[in-house]
Amino acid sequence: METSLRNHLKGKIPQIVEGSVVSELELETSIGIVSSVITTRSVTDMGLSVGQEVCAVIKATEVGIERC
């Protein structure tokens, strides 16, 4: 394994809401929409755009558990 970040969720980008500093990026995954807020600089540097397939990445310590 190359990373300690345990959670990687693959999905397609249906929408990017770009702000001046941060952007909201949604991923359409097999388990539903996953929502992410990253810097707009990263959106530009990575060349992210609607329709691309990318992975959401989440550190295990950021994941809570709820009854649902």
Binding site for a second copy (CB under 8 A): 1-10, 17-25, 27, 29-32, 34-39, 41-43, 45-46, 48, 53-68
Distance CA 31, CA 38 (A): 21
Q: Pick the closer one to a second copy by CB: 35 or 50.
A: 35
State the nearest-atom distance from the C-beta of 27 to a second copy, in Å: 8
Q: Tell me which residue of 47, 45, 49, 40 sits closest to 15, measured CA to CA.
A: 49
Residue 8 or 50: the one with the smaller Cβ distance to a second copy is 8
